[in-house]
Amino acid sequence: MMDTFLHRLGFAVVALFLAGPLIIVAGVSVNEKQSLTFPPEGFSMAWYEQIFTDPGWRAALVASVLLAALSAALAVLIALPLSWFLWRRIAPWANVFRLLGVAPFILPPVITALGLLTFWATIGFYGQPWTAVISHAIFFVTLPLVTLSLGFSSIDRSLVEAAATMGADDRLVLRTVVLPLILPYLVSGYAFAFVLSLNEYIVAYMTVGFTMETLPIKIFNALRYGYTPTMASVSVFFVAIAAVVFALIARFGDLPRLLGAMASDES
């Protein structure tokens, strides 16, 4: 009895620590007046409307969503052929490219950001919006790469062999057997990259920070000039997007397995 009580207490403390700041922000975001007070004074959803009606915030939202949608798609386009090749062929040296794909994610982000800044500045495209799409795709290619590699490794090779024995060539096997099997992993890879790109600050700031405002850049710029409640409502909005996306992944995919728990089929 004592044990389960202590366990519950432990979970509650961690939950409170993780949720605490977000609860305060959610409270602040419904203040009626433009003031930073908690508990909120009055109740108003006006600051949520602001995200969509204020031209500045709306432009930042559109920029962020476009950037995230395009860069995640490009990341998947890079990761899919690479992970297919590594699964289909015996070519140990090709693992170098897997390493290159994972490196930007493991190193401190400021390094990738600075590398891309010097690169775009050197070839003269610094500040073009499309450079952010490529930069984010490279920065987040790790995520679809990891989920797709996991997806390919889970394919039962006898299925593929059966198809090949029946006379299907590589292309046909890919379309009719492999792609349907890895689709959940492809979607989760895209979703992970999408959500992280939406929230990313430093790479976006260093590549297009002076010509385009994504939402994180907009929040930080606004933070320097003082407080507006829209920051709070945007933050809550972003937490909600992330929670919905990950809940969908959990609903339609195997989240414990995606996060590396191979033993999940036993439980």
Partner 1 sequence: MRREPPRTIADYTPLAFPAIMLIIFFVVPFSTMIAVSFFRRQQGGFYTPDFVIDNYGRFLSAFFGGVLGFSLMLAIMVAVICVAIAFPFTYLLTKTSRRVQIVWLVCLLSVLSLSEVIIGFAWSTLFSRTAGITNLLVAAGLMSEPQALLPGFGAVLTGMVYQALPYTILVLYPALVRLDPTLLEAARTLGASPLRGFINIIVPALRNTIVATLIMVFVFALGSYLLPQILGRPQHWTLSVLITDQAIYQSNMPFAAAMAVFLVLISLALVGLTLLVGGRREATA
Residues 217-236 that bind partner 1 (CB under 8 A): 217, 219-220, 223, 231-232, 235
- How many CB atoms are located within 10 Å of the residue 197 CB? 28
Half-sphere exposure of 131 (CA within 13 A, CB side): 25
Nearer to partner 1, 61 or 173 (CB): 173
| Cis previous bond, 39, omega within 30 | yes
| Distance from C-alpha of 133 to C-alpha of 43, rounded to nearest angstrom | 38
Among positions 68, 141, 148, 182, the unique one binding partner 1 when judged by CB under 8 A = 141
Q: How far is the CB of 70 from partner 1 (least distance, A)?
A: 14
Compose the 39-68 pattern: x for residues touching partner 1 by CB under 8 A, - for all others: ------------------------------
Under rule CB under 8 A, residue 199 binds partner 1: yes
Under rule CB under 8 A, residue 87 binds partner 1: yes
Nearer to partner 1, 112 or 190 (CB): 112
All residues at 6 or more sequence positions from 44 whose CB lies less than 8 Å from its CB, including other chains: 30, 31, 32
Nearer to partner 1, 121 or 183 (CB): 121
| Distance from C-alpha of 26 to C-alpha of 233, rounded to nearest angstrom | 7
Residue with tokens 């989920």: 147
Under rule CB under 8 A, residue 173 binds partner 1: yes
Under rule CB under 8 A, residue 24 binds partner 1: yes
Nearer to partner 1, 212 or 217 (CB): 217
Record the tokens describing residue 213, joined without a space: 């405002």
Q: Are 51 and 234 in contact (CB under 8 A)?
A: yes
Under rule CB under 8 A, residue 81 binds partner 1: yes
All residues at 6 or more sequence positions from 95 whose CB lies less than 8 Å from its CB, including other chains: 86
Q: How far is the CB of 81 from partner 1 (least distance, A)?
A: 4
Q: How far is the CB of 220 from partner 1 (least distance, A)?
A: 5
Nearer to partner 1, 11 or 52 (CB): 11
Nearer to partner 1, 53 or 118 (CB): 118
Residue 220, helix vs strand vs coil: helix
